[in-house]
Amino acid sequence: MTVNMILAGVGGQGILSIATVLGRAALALDLNLKQAEVHGMSQRGGDVMSCLRLSDAPIASDLIPAGKVDMIVAMEPMEAMRYLPQLKPGGVVISSSETVANVPGYPERAELCDRLVSLARTHGLECAVFDAESLAREVASPRSSNMVLLGAAAAWLQLPEYLGIAPQEIENAVAAVFAPKGEAVVKSNIEAFRKGLAVGKDSL
């Protein structure tokens, strides 16, 4: 079984930290892992995307075939919308509602989020859009909003059809990845992860 994920956002939002944590969790479970990254010009608000493939069998390529993405995890709703055509039928979209207006004429936030949800549901996709930054601020700081989003994704990854990766395994990886930054940083990121996990479970 292989789970194909696109992690998307704008430079500086912590997309690659999500990939690092998931990769560490996968390796701890002896899963196979392939990852490919595309970095935009983050200093100008450019897009950042990572293809992440997790499997209990060998993986031939780090690139995901068109229409075979199981899950989009996006820190920004426009970036989530960018990759909707890559999702397979029945796929999942998990996105923060916080926008980064990095182009002229950027849509109003509520309008954009409503459009994302509408498009996803029209195509038979599961979709959860929520304010990850506000939830992160409740338990840690806005910088931990990526861990809130990861927590929401973990709710799906624990399902058998998504490899059944237990949230505790991902939480252990969060602790390991942030350990060099000190106990306080580990604690705040774990709290943010748990906050997102509750949101994800409510969305299932």
- Which pLDDT band, with edges at 50, 70 and 90, does 99 fall under? confident
Mean pLDDT estimate for the chain: 90
Radius of gyration of the chain (CA): 16
85 Cβ contact list (under 8 Å, min separation 6)? 66, 67
Q: DSSP 3-state assignment of 199?
A: helix
Right CATH for 2-203 from 3.40.920.10, 2.60.120.380, 3.40.50.970, 3.40.1110.10: 3.40.920.10
Tell me, what's the pLDDT at 91? 94
24 C-beta neighbours (distance < 10 Å), count: 19
Between 12 and 126, whose confidence is greater? 126
- Cα–Cα distance between 112 and 106 in angstroms, integer? 9
Q: Domain coordinates of the chain in residue numbers? A: 2-203
Tell me, what's the pLDDT at 10? 84
Residue 65, φ and ψ in degrees, nearest 5: -60, 150
Listed residue (96, 92, 99, 97) closest to 127, CA to CA: 92
110 C-beta neighbours (distance < 10 Å), count: 10
Structure tokens at 59: 């993986």
Give yes or no for residue 41 having a pLDDT over 80.
Answer: no
Percent of the chain with pLDDT over 70: 96
Tell me, what's the pLDDT at 45? 61
Helical pair 167-178 and 15-28, crossing angle rounded to 10 deg: 120
> pLDDT tens across 112-165, in order?
999 999 998 888 888 999 999 999 999 878 889 999 999 999 999 999 999 999
